[in-house]
Amino acid sequence: MDIVITGFNYYSSYWNNPSGELARTLDGSIINGYRVKGFVLAVSLKNAVSKMKEILSTTKPKLIIGMGLNPATRFVDIELVSVNQTYFTQPDVDGNIVRLQKILDTGPQIAYTTLPLEKIMRECSEKKSLPIKPSVSIGLYLWNVVAYMIMTYGLEKKIPAGFIHLPPTTINLLRREAEHGIPFSEVLEAVKCIIEVSTSGMYDH
């Protein structure tokens, strides 16, 4: 059985996107007996929607987590909710701008994460002092699109599913793509802990 994680490729001035790098790094690894499949999405509305539909229909994961970069955060933010709406004035890599558009025509207005948040905070944040916190600041850009597709899938299939925003890393800082950054190894450890906790006890395979 597979775990699926997704990240994003470069966008704007962020030529090193830690979410994409992390998806590549974890691809093929084994966590709690589950094989990780990592996918890197283009920062493109058309590509993200079609690719997510393909991923969800072909992999049938037991756990799925989407990731994106939030240049403003200093934590690994677990997003609690997503909404069935897209709105952005910053063009994607295809030059598209969206002025209110539903993600799924028949989907609920709000979708919630099914990741075990309290357990993650207890095991990863409190016990291991990893920089993880809950968040409701997902916005309406492509991150929300992917998060909504993942969360609705998790609710429908009754599996752990969610979206996390990553902070810039020291690589972004050294490249002058961000004003702050934390070591990539620490971000990697935080994400691995989230996966480990979310899959703990899932031995029905």
Question: Residue ranges per domain, the chain?
Answer: 2-199
For residue 137, CA distances in Å to 32, 54, 66, 141 come to: 30, 27, 15, 11
4-21, pLDDT tens digit by residue? Answer: 999 998 777 767 889 999
| Structure confidence by residue, pLDDT tens digits, 88-122 | 888 888 898 998 889 988 889 999 999 999 999 99
On average, the pLDDT of the chain sits at 91
* CB neighbourhood size of 22 (10 A): 24
Query: Is it the case that residue 153 has pLDDT exceeding 60?
Result: yes
Residue (of 155, 145, 156, 159) closest to 6 by Cα position: 145
Look at residue 203 in the predicted model and tell me its pLDDT.
46
User: Which candidate, 173, 126, 149, 189, places its Cα nearest to that of 66?
Assistant: 149
What pLDDT does 201 receive? 67
- pLDDT of 157 over the 70 cut: yes
| DSSP-derived pairing of the beta strands 76-79 and 98-101 | unpaired
Report whether pLDDT(205) > 60. Answer: no
Is the pLDDT score of 204 beyond 60?
A: no
Output the pLDDT for position 202. 64
Of 79 and 45, more confident: 79
Cα–Cα distance measured from residue 190 to residue 205, given in angstroms and rounded to the nearest whole number? 25
Separation between Cα atoms, residue 185 and residue 39, nearest integer Å: 19
> What CATH number was assigned to the domain covering residues 2-199?
3.40.630.20
